[in-house]
Each structure stands twice: as structure tokens, then as C-alpha cells.
Structure 1
Amino acid sequence: MLDATTRSGGTATASSEAAATELTVPVTAPANFAVRCTRVLRSPWSRLSLLLVLLAAAAASVLLFEPHKLLANGWPPQVGGPVALVVFAVAYGVITVAFVPRPLLNLAAGALFGSELGIAAAMVGTVLGAGIAFALGRMLGQDALRPLLRGRLLKAADNQFSKHGFRSMLAVRLFPGVPFWAANYAAAVSRMGYFPFLLATALGSIPNIAAYVVAGARASSPTSPVFLIAVAAIALPALAGAVVAWRKRHHLRRR
């Protein structure tokens, strides 16, 4: 009797465990699938792919809207006053993430708003665009790209940005030669801090922005002293930046 009871109890226990197992399989399978999908989406290469897709979409939208027509056609007449400044600054920041040349936008700021307001709008747009690009590069691209920094020049640039972030970025902004978007994403991949990056961008971009905005504001009188000084202020830093970059590259090759 005891053996029969024990056997029946054991059979009941085994059947209940089997039933519990059958019940838990459909529940845990979707959970495991969700966990795997989450891991894939959070992987460095998935995030880098997302960054590339976002940048490609932004570049395609800029090509579609053709912002260079802003210089030829002017600002939409229904937008004016402080609203126009805010809209221009935000649009400036967003489309610089999509590789639109900033000199074009700085000239447009001067032509549309004059020297003082144009400089303010271009400065806000520059810092905004740099901040967006830095945040995207840091969140979506840093983990995937840092292991690829194996060349001597790449390691030297990364070391410079990581250890001397503010000073290095200030030099890059003062002496134009490195494209704006390239400097943003290079800084994002490095270990540079967010605040030193933005501060160096704001301070280092002032001379270049002022020169282009003033040139755009005085474009109707190309023989005026102010316009000629602005053009000289554009050309001389570019030449100095090319010389410094050549000497730095020559020095790294000798080492």
C-alpha cells in the first residue's frame, strides 16, 4: 500500500513538474528572444550602424531641401524678428550635423541679419550643431570605433584630444583645416569631456564666424575696407592652419 501510494505520489509530482515545465516554456521563450534583441540593439556595431543611418538620412534630406538657395532667395517672408533668429540658429545646428559647410551658413547669417545678429545666430547654431554631433558620436559610435584606433596618426590624435581636450579643440577651431564635422566626431570618439569640447568650440569659432558673417553682411560692397578685412581674416587663419598642420604631420613622421 505504501509503495503504491508513494508511486502514485511520485507520478503525480512528476506530472505536475512536467506540466509546470510545459507552462514555463512558452513564457520564457519570448523573454529570451527579447533579451537577445536588446543585446543586439545595444551592441557597439548596432549603435554605429544606427549613427550611419541617421547621418545618411540627414544628408539626404539636406540635399533634398537645398539650403544653399537661402543665399539666393532670402529668408521666407513669413518669418521675421526674433523668431527668424531662433529658427535660423536651430536649422544651422541641425544641418551642420549633416555635413553642410558652415562658411555658407555664416555668409547667409550675415546677409540675412547683419553683422551683430548674424554673429549671435551663427554662434548659437555652431555650438548647438557641435553638441548634437558630439552626443551622437559619443553614444552611438565611441564603443565601436575606439578599438579601431591602431595607426600612429590616429593614436596620436586620440591621445591629444583625450589628454589635452580643451587646448586641442581650441586650436582646431582657431585654425580651420579640419572639417567641422570631422573634428566633432573625432572628439566624440576620444575621451574628451563634453563641457571642454563645447567651451573650446564656442571660443575658438568666434574669429572665423565673425569674419564670414561680416563678409556676408558687406557682400554688396566688395571694395569696402570692412569687407576686405573680413576676407583677410578668413584667408590668413586658413593659411596658418595649413602651415601648422604640415609641420605637425612632418614632426610625427620624423618621430
Structure 2
Amino acid sequence: MPPDTPSPRPGWTRLWPLGLILAALGLAYALGLQRYLSFEALAEHRAALAAFVAARPVAAPLLYVLLYVAVVAFSLPGGAVMTLAGGFLFGPWLGAAAAVLGATLGACALFLAARHALAETLAHRAGPLMAKLREGLARDGFWYLLSLRLLPVVPFWLANLAPALAGMPLAPYAGATFLGIIPATVVFAGIGAGLGQVIEAGGRPDLSVILSPGILLPLVGLAALSLLGAWWRRRRGGR
């Protein structure tokens, strides 16, 4: 091998981003940090959180976005609580915007880590099947992922990892994630904006409202439209 040719890196060296995420996830569970991503913790510390936001109106939303990035990137449970907290602390619109930004950035971080660690290895081992899947995702992946994001019944972590392992490009992944999570996030942030009254009454927010026909059917319709867009692109490409 010529002296100026870089030697190939061992396969295990590509795993460090995913290993870092798994180590952070294990540490978070060991320290019990997941307990703070619960409705009970939000209800218990609501006064202190509201006072912090009032005292630091600029730093508080930025800190919230960073925390949301960490929750999504490390696949910690509590994304729904984080979105509720955003609406409760910052109002429905600013809370929804901060949640969408944090969730998108966190999803992109997890996507890049998984793709760097595993996508190339899977591509070599899967052969023609993975190559065909990569081609399809490169062409229509935006529309397929958008339909998954629009439906709140699809686990968020699964929709983060599957496109990365299949070799989907980052730009359509980020765009589909950003646009696809907006509707459900706005609904959850709106619920969170009225959370103070629910907590004072000693109740819990009814998150099943997202599955009610008035909310779910429009989301299903949007998902169907995104799949229609993929079909139309494929039809035109066939022509």
C-alpha cells in the first residue's frame, strides 16, 4: 500500500458514537434520571420550573431544547412529558416550536450515530436487497418517513433508527422529521398549556385525545397524502 494511502479503519472503531449513546443511556438509568421525565415529577416541580422560566426567559427555552435533544438522542422515555412541559412552561406555540426543534435535532443526532456505526456494515452484508432499499429511500424516503412521523402510533425511536440503518440521506430525513412531528407536537403542547389547571385539580392529562377521531383521522389523511406523493413520484419516474 502506498505510504500516502490511509489504512482502512477497523470495523469496531465505527461503533464509538453508538457506544457513547448506549453508555449515556445506561448511566441515565443507573442514576434514575428517567424518574424526572414523568408527569409526577413535572407536577411536583412545576412551581420551581415556572419561576426559573420567569427569571430567565431567554435561557430557559434554549436549555429546554438542549434537554429535549438529549432525551431523543439517548432514546430516553418521556418525550410526551417533555412536550407537555414545553406547552406548560412556554405556552402552546413557543412550547411546540421548541419541542419540534429539540426533537428534530435529537433525532438527527441518533440517526447520524446509527448510520456511522452500522449502516455501512449492514449494506455490505445485506447485498442487493439493501442496495434496492437504499435506492428506494433515496428516491421516496422523504414521503414514506413523513407518513410515519405523522402517525403518533409509530414509536419515535424506531422511526429514527430504521432509516439510518437503511442508508437514507440526512437531508430528507431531517425534513420529513421536522414536518411530520409538527401536528402531534402542537396537540400535545396545547394540552400542556392547560396543565396547570389539571395539576391543581389533582388529575392527569388525557393523552388519549391524540387517538380520538377528531385528531387521528386528519393525521391519517395527511399520512395518506404523503404516500400519494411517493406514488406520484414513482409513476412519473416510470414514465
- The alignment's TM-score, normalised by the length of structure 2, stands at 0.69
Q: Alpha carbons of 1:233 and 1:178: their partners in 2 closer, same or farther (altered >3 Å)?
A: closer
Name the CA distance, whole Å, in 2 between partners of 1:171 and 1:78. 37
Partner of 2:123: 146
Name the CA distance, whole Å, in 2 between partners of 1:198 and 1:179. 17
Partner of 1:56: 22
Partner of 1:213: 189
Name the CA distance, whole Å, in 2 between partners of 1:231 and 1:214. 14
Q: CA deviation at 1:56?
A: 1.7
* Structure 2 stretches lacking a partner, 5+ long: 224-239
Q: CA deviation at 1:76?
A: 7.8
Q: Is the 8 A contact 2:150 2:184 kept in 1?
A: yes
Name the CA distance, whole Å, in 1 between partners of 2:153 and 2:10. 34
Q: Which has the higher contact order (CA 8 A, sep 6+)?
A: 2
Partner of 1:204: 180
Q: CA deviation at 1:53?
A: 2.0
Amino acid corresponding to residue 68 of structure 1 in structure 2:
L
Name the CA distance, whole Å, in 2 between partners of 1:78 and 1:204. 31
Partner of 2:161: 185
Partner of 1:100: 76
Task: Quote the RMSD (CA, aligned, Å).
Answer: 3.6
Q: Alpha carbons of 1:162 and 1:45: their partners in 2 closer, same or farther (altered >3 Å)?
A: farther
Q: Is the 8 A contact 1:90 1:128 kept in 2?
A: no
Q: Is the 8 A contact 1:110 1:119 kept in 2?
A: yes
Partner of 2:10: 43
Q: CA deviation at 1:147?
A: 4.0
Larger mean CA deviation between 95-104 and 159-168 belongs to 159-168
Q: Alpha carbons of 1:156 and 1:58: their partners in 2 closer, same or farther (altered >3 Å)?
A: farther
Q: Is the 8 A contact 2:148 2:159 kept in 1?
A: yes
Larger mean CA deviation between 101-110 and 81-90 belongs to 101-110
Q: CA deviation at 1:182?
A: 1.8
Q: Is the 8 A contact 2:104 2:174 kept in 1?
A: yes
**Which aligned pairs between 1:76-87 and structure 2 lie closer than 5 A?**
77-78=51-52, 80-87=56-63
Aligned residues: 202
Partner of 1:166: 142
Partner of 1:112: 89
